[in-house]
Structures are given as C-alpha cells and as structure tokens.
Structure 1
Amino acid sequence: MADAITMRMQDRGTITHFISGRVSRAGDCGQSPLPSATRVNVLIRIVSVLEGVMLRAVMLSGEIGTGESARTRIAWRLLPFLFLLYVANYLDRTNIAYATLGMKGDLGLSDSVFGTASGIFFIGYFALQIPGALLVERWSAKWLLSLTLVIWGALTTLTGFVRTPVELYGARFLLGAAEAGFFPGVIVYLSHWFIYQDRAKAVARFMSAIPIAYILGGPLAGVILRVHWLDIAGWRWLFLLEGVPAILLGIATLFVLPDRPNEVRWLQPNERDWLTARLAEERRAKVDVAQVTVWQALRHPAVLVLTAGLFFCYTGGYAFWFWMPTMLQRLTGWTDVQRIGWVGAIPFVAGLIGMLFLGWNSDRTRERRWHFAIPQLTAAVALSAWFLAPHSNALLIMAFTLVGFGTVAYLPSFWALPSAFLTSSAGAAAVGFINCTASIGGFFGPKIIGDLSQRTGSFHGGFLVMIACWTIASLLVLLCPRERSAQLSA
C-alpha cells in the first residue's frame, strides 16, 4: 500500500501540469483568465481533492484485501473442526435409532418405550440451551464446548450399560442436557469470529454435518451391530464405541479452538485489527436497537408463527429420523442390519444434495418461504404415495429418499427468514427462541409414533401424523406475516 501511495504522490506534478495547462488555455480561447493567486488556489484545491480520492481508494483496496484474507483464513481454520464436532454430536444423539434394532429384544422394549426414550432427549435439551449460550458469551467457548463433548461422550458410552427402560430414560435425558449448550454455544462462538455478512454461510457449512452424520452413521451402525466381541451385544458396542470420539474431540478442543481473535498467532496483525474493528462496530450498532427490538422480536407475530412452523417440522422430522431404521426393517422384512444401515443412508444423501442446492438457489433468488415449503410438501406427498400406490420395497425406498430430502433441505432457507424482517440483534434473539422452543417437537414426534404403533400394530397412523405436521409447517411459513426490519427498529 505504501508503494502505491508513493506512486500516487509522485503523480502530483503530472496532475498539476495538466490542470494548469487547461486553466491557461481557457484564456487563449477568449475567456477571462483567472488572476494568478486565484489560479494557484484553484490548482491546490483540485490537486488536494484528487489526491484524497486516490489515497482513499488505495487504502480501501488494501483494507478489502486484508478483510478477504482474514475471512478466508478464519473459515479454513475453524469450520472444519466445528463441522467434525457436530458430526460427533448427531452420531451420539441419533445412534439409538439403529441401536434399537438389537436392544428392543434384549431389554424387552415396546414401541411406546422406545418412542419415549428417543424423545425424552429433548426435554433435557430444551432445559439447558440458553444457559449454555450465556456461558459461551460470558465465560469461555473452548472450555464449555470441551466439557460438553467429554460429558456427552461419557454418557453415550454409559448408555451401553443400561439394563432397564428407566435407566435408558435417565441416560437419554442426561445426554440431552449435556448436548444442550453445544449448538447455541457454537452459534454464539461464530459471532465472535465471523462478521455478520459471513455468519449465515458459516452456519450453513456447520449444519451440513447433520446429513453427513446420518450418511456415515447408518453404515457404521450396521457394521457394529453385527459384532459380539467379549460376548457383548452389538448395540452395546455401538454406544461404547461412538462415545469415545466425542471424548477425544473434547480434549482436542482445548488445543484447537481459540476463544477470541486476539489470542491467535495465525492471523496477521493487520487482519486481527481489521476483524476486531469490524466486530466492535457491529456490537456498537446493535446496542442502539437491542433494548427495543429484542423484546419486540420475542412477541412479534412472525416469530411466533415461525416457531410454530418449526415445531411441526421438528415433530415430523425427528419422528422419521428416529423411526426410519425400524420402519425399514418391518416394512421390508429385512433382517440384515448392515443392509438397513446402507439403505438408511440414501435419504440423507438426497437431503445433503437438496440442502446445498436449495441453500444456494435461495440466496441467488433471495426467496425463502417456498424454499422451505417445497421440501416439506415433497416429504408429505412422498409419504402419501404409500397409501395410494401398490406396496413394494422400491416404492418405500423412493418415498423415504424424498422424505429425507424434505426433512433436511429446508434448513438454510428457514434460518435465513428471521433476519429478513428483524434487525441483527433481534434476529439473533429470535433464532435462539425459535430453536429452543421448537425443539420440544423432537420429544412429541418419536413418542407419538411409538404410541400409535403400539396401539395399532402399524405405522399408518404415524405416517398420517408426519404428513399432517409437514403440511401444517409449510402453510404456517407461507402465511407468516411479511414485515420489514425498519418497522421493528423504528
């Protein structure tokens, strides 16, 4: 930058000579020549203005280059590791879906008990989300995330020793409580490192770990469930082995994740200064509106409607995610758990592709509601086909693939909606409120499916509940009030 500024300053003589010639020729053309003193003052002012413009342009160019390099370096340093942590999170959260293929017989679990055990996770999860986010903000992100990982890894491992339904309920409840602070904590952590315009993209990359966890988890579970090392059942090994990575990653977190930009050496001083200044500027901007818009946001009709929409979305989505392996086993008659694991990964491959494509297209078109509704309605229509077409394994796999697409692909579009009508600080509060409240749907969905299956001996009633949930979620989001942020920030 210094060389560029020097070059611009060397051009001063050229600029002065050019303007001086133009002013002098004005007299030759019959116009009244300016007095010498006035001419000099005019030249000085014009040259000063031009030099100021060029200097600001050069400085702005250098600042943009610094900002781009800082943003790129941060993304490559932090997001891959956070992505890995979230994969471990979802593996431990949902491995009960495959473990039940073996544990139901060993523990004598009914469908109702399994549905309750799957969903009770979200009771503990709901209770401790907000305290976890506050601890990241006021204490230390790396220490909280590290402790969270170690504790939930240990609890996952201990789940392998349960002997009764009550013990399973307790293990799942505690696991939910242990994992509660992770997602909101990471969202707060990202706000310490990513400027506002990069935050949504960072969250989208982070959340792509959800379908990846299912894609990896199904085949992996199929392999582990077939082993009986030391005369221990495969489902117990599934919990024992999948809890270990979380413990190791929790220890690694202390050494890999820094709390704040001023702690790291891999940022250049000018990059660190640029990031610190931008984040401080954003915080100052939020202070001016936070006291008004945050409270308005939590009572805003659109926020309440979106919360209800996501509640129904989670109710149907988690019902499918937890029950899909059991549905595959019963509706196809397959007994090979490895085959169930591989086929169970297919819906989430479709979900991952849909998430990436619809997220990109939603940003390109700046449309959110239909990008949410179309996946949800696709899932509802696909599951409806089970009632209308002749039953076959091919139809079931096709329907489940479209359901997997519908229950994953909506995520980026939905989480972009709050910022469409709320200021940044209010949007952050709304995201926390929506996710925390709607997560209760993760309890009701699996439990309702289990209770209906227990009473009727089929999944038809459960299918109807999921279809209704996805249809209601779509309608709620499509009909959500459309208000701009200016109305709230006034």
Structure 2
Amino acid sequence: MNSYQPAASRPVAAHAAQAGAAEVERTYKKVFWRIVPFLMLCYVVAYLDRVNVGFAKLQMSQDLAFSETVFGLGAGVFFIGYFLFELPSNILMHKLGARIWIARIMITWGVLSAVFVFVKTPTQFYLLRFLLGLAEAGFYPGVILYLTYWFPSHRRAKIIAVFMSAIPVSGIFGNPLSGWIMQSFHNSSGLAGWQWMFLIEAIPAIAIGIATILYLDNGIASAKWLSNTEKRVLADEIAAAQPQEQTHKHSLGAVFRDPRTWWMSLIYFAFVTGQYGLTFWMPTLVKSTGVTGAFNIGLLSAIPFLCAIVVMNVMGHSADKRRERRWHLIVPALFGAVGFTVAASFADNTMVSIAFLSLAAAGVLTCAPLFWSLPTAFMSGASAAAGIAIINSIGNLAGFASPYMIGYLKDLTHSTQTGMYVLAVMLVIGAIATWLTPAKLVNR
C-alpha cells in the first residue's frame, strides 16, 4: 500500500512552486504508462473469464440441457460469492498490498475457470460460478482503490475510463476469440467447443497472476522506478487534492452509517444492471436477430464494444477537464436506455439491433468508470477501501439479478424484449438518482 506520507498541511501554493506543471505532467505520464496498461491487461483477462459463460451458453445449454433460467441463475450466482467476500478482500488488499493480493486473485480464478471443463449438472455449474465469484472478489474495487494511491480525484475519471476500456476491449477481441475457439475446437480430443474455450481462456489469468508478483508495486513508496523527487510530486499532489474531511480516519461502522454510501450503492446497482444485462446476453441477443455461426456472432457482438471504447474515453476526458461528474453520467445513462428500448423493439432486424445495441453499450459502459469519480471524491484511505468495496459489492448484486431476470423472462415470454425494457428503466432510475446527488459533493 502507499505509505509515502507528505506533510498534510503543506499549502497547495508551496507545492506548486516546488514542482512545475511540466514536471507534474511528466511524472503522471510515467506512472500512467507503468501501471495502467498492465492493469488493463489484467482486467481484460478477468472480464473475459467472468462473461465468457455468455458465449459458452450457445453450445453449453444444448449439450447439458440447461434452461434459460438455469443459465441466468448460474451466470448471476457468481455475484453472490463476489458480494460475500468483496469487503474483506478489499480490506486485506489495503493491509497486505496490491501486488500479492491481485496476483492471488488472478491465479485462483484462472484455476477455477479451467475447472468448468468438468461441469455436467446445474448444481456443479452453480457451485463453480459461486466459487469463481469468491476468487475474483476484490479485484475490481481493489484496482479502483489502488488508483487512488497514485492519482488525485481530478485525474481519476480519465484514468478509470482508460482502465475500464478493458471491458469493451475484452468484448472486441474476446467475443470473436471465444466464437472461433468454440467453432474450431469443437469435439477435438473428445471435448466440446465450450470446454476448450474455458480451458484455453484460463491460461492467461494464471500467467498474468504470476507476472503481477514480479511487476506491480504496492504504492508510491515502493516504486523503485520513481526518483525521490517524483515520489514527492505524486504524494504532494494527492495530499493537496484531498478535502480537509478526508484527513481524519473513519471507522468501518462510520462508512456503513454514512447515507452517501447507500445512495452511491443505489446508483451503481442501476448502472450495473444494464452493464451485465448487456455483456452476459449480447451473444444471445445477436443470435436472436437471425445470425448463425459462433464466429459470426462473435464478430457482430464486437461492434457495440468498439463504439463503447471511444465514447467512454471521450466522456472520461471531458469529465476531468470540466470537473463535472453528474451530467457526464446522466447523459450516457439515458442514451443507454434509448438503445435498449429501440433494440428490443426491432429485435428481428439485425442492422437496427446492432446499431442500437451499440448505443446501449456506449451508454452503460461509459457509466461504470465515470461513476467511480463520485464516491472517490469524498472517500480516501481505509474508508475508501471499505466504502468502495461496500458500494461495488452491493451494486454488483445486480450482476446476479440482471442475468437471472432476463433468463426467467425469456423462458416466460420466449423473448428477450421484456428484459431489455427493464434494463432501460433501471438506467433511467440511475440517471435520476445521479441528478439528485448534490453537485458540490462530487464535482472536485
């Protein structure tokens, strides 16, 4: 963790005199290229292993006779394990350091992902998804916390947007890759295509987990690639950007009692409902328009993620430049709602569906990184470790509710249309809750 402590009372003016703007920007550029691309790579692999079950469904449900409800429950039960272990995982990372803890997470989830090869029954499917959630709990909020060690609040929206570009990158490359593996390796050596997909895509998680031990630093103080001057610049920037209220320690109980924690959880729950409704069911939504062949479905499924990666980075840069948070969340949430609504209404038209699924993807995937600039504007240190974990774990319960809800409604109505309308409504609720958040609390 970051233990480099500057004088908390050092005036911002003195700090600015010590380090010119060019030196500050040069130091942050160095930090960015050292840690952000590596964290992105970790998250690409993490997200691929989390949602590749959506592609496995194209063969797995038929091979194992799983209903849409069984699949939706199995996809979502991941987040029950995630919910139960996320808070202790984030607190442990804050105490033990990011290097070892993130490596532990990646190696264990890689091993568990490979074990999906042996799934035969719904019970085994549920159990492994639950264990995968336990294994991965703490990775995403841990990285968000880790970034607060390096970047002050007014730089985080852009940085988190770049980091979370891993989600659409995972879709852009992972969807065609998953489709190609399933189509090309099907019935090779007695394994189905979906079994090969789980096995092959587990290997990078284990390899990168080992690399994390060798590459990642716990914080500013332990970074040997930074000079003492650069360490001082970074630490002073973070200290200067923190509100006075953040210089005091907060107990875990105080974080739970803080109504802002629960309000942030509500907003995040609404946005995550849309996010996982999209990422888990994208292959099925594309297939339902009449597209055939796993590789073709994978290629078309990548298009919405290409749109999302552009929009989320443009909005992240804009939010930091203007130091405005709420409307940079509200607008993409509403566009995402429109995308889901129109795509559902023209579900039998491939061109229209892909166009508006692209709008939905750009909306919901932009909301996720920009959201974290809200709670991290008033949380830091140990309170941030607990607060981020609480918000993320509660919000990610939507990852359980959303796939299960869509699967249940699809079995009930034989269509994904109703489920997509529900996703649109949840995004509108998130937009309204964001609008009701006081601007002075988050625009820093």
TM bucket by the smaller chain?
0.7 to 0.9
1:307 and 2:265 aligned = yes
Tell me which residue corresponds to 2:424.
467
Q: Summarize the Cα distance change of 1:453–1:257 in structure 2 as closer, same or farther, 3 Å threshold.
A: same
Tell me which residue corresponds to 2:65.
108
TM-score w.r.t. structure 2 length? 0.87
Tell me which residue corresponds to 2:278.
320
- Cα deviation, 1:446-489, whole Å, max 9, x if unaligned, reads 00111111122222221222122122222222223455489xxx
> C-alpha distance in 2, partners of 1:476/1:458?
30
2:389 pairs, out of 429, 432, 452, with 432
- Cα deviation, 1:61-100, whole Å, max 9, x if unaligned, reads 5666654443332221111111111111101001001111
- Cα deviation, 1:144-193, whole Å, max 9, x if unaligned, reads 11111111001111112211111111111111111112122223333344
Give the SS at the match of 2:224. coil
Q: Summarize the Cα distance change of 1:174–1:316 in structure 2 as closer, same or farther, 3 Å threshold.
A: same
1:268 and 2:268 aligned = no
1:396 and 2:353 aligned = yes
2:112 pairs, out of 136, 140, 155, with 155
2:145 pairs, out of 184, 188, 194, with 188
Tell me which residue corresponds to 1:244.
203
1:253 and 2:212 aligned = yes
How far 1:365 sits from its partner (Å)?
3.3
2:248 pairs, out of 289, 294, 307, with 289
State how 1:69-468 maps to structure 2 within 5 Å. 69-226=26-183, 227-228=185-186, 229-275=188-234, 288-291=247-250, 298-329=256-287, 331-386=288-343, 391-419=348-376, 422=378, 424=380, 430-468=387-425
- Cα deviation, 1:300-341, whole Å, max 9, x if unaligned, reads 444433321221221232122111211221x22332111100
Q: Summarize the Cα distance change of 1:480–1:424 in structure 2 as closer, same or farther, 3 Å threshold.
A: same
State how 1:23-102 maps to structure 2 within 5 Å. 60=17, 67-102=24-59
Q: Summarize the Cα distance change of 1:262–1:70 in structure 2 as closer, same or farther, 3 Å threshold.
A: same
- Cα deviation, 1:183-217, whole Å, max 9, x if unaligned, reads 22223333344455544443332222111111111
RMSD: 2.9
1:374 partner letter: V
Q: Give aligned-pair identity as a percent.
A: 37
Q: Report the count of equivalent residues.
A: 428
How far 1:104 sits from its partner (Å)?
0.7
Check whether the contact 1:380–1:470 (CA below 8 A) recurs between aligned residues. yes
Higher helix share: 1
2:263 partner letter: V
Check whether the contact 1:286–1:424 (CA below 8 A) recurs between aligned residues. no
Tell me which residue corresponds to 1:9.
none
Check whether the contact 1:312–1:469 (CA below 8 A) recurs between aligned residues. yes
Check whether the contact 1:302–1:480 (CA below 8 A) recurs between aligned residues. no
Identify which of structures 1 and 2 has the higher relative contact order when contacts are C-alpha pairs closer than 8 Å and 6+ apart.
Answer: 2
Q: Summarize the Cα distance change of 1:119–1:342 in structure 2 as closer, same or farther, 3 Å threshold.
A: same
> C-alpha distance in 2, partners of 1:59/1:111?
58
Stretches of structure 1 lacking an aligned partner (at least 5 in a row): 1-55
Check whether the contact 2:172–2:306 (CA below 8 A) recurs between aligned residues. yes
Larger Rg: 1 or 2? 1
Give the SS at the match of 1:91. helix
How far 1:110 sits from its partner (Å)?
0.3
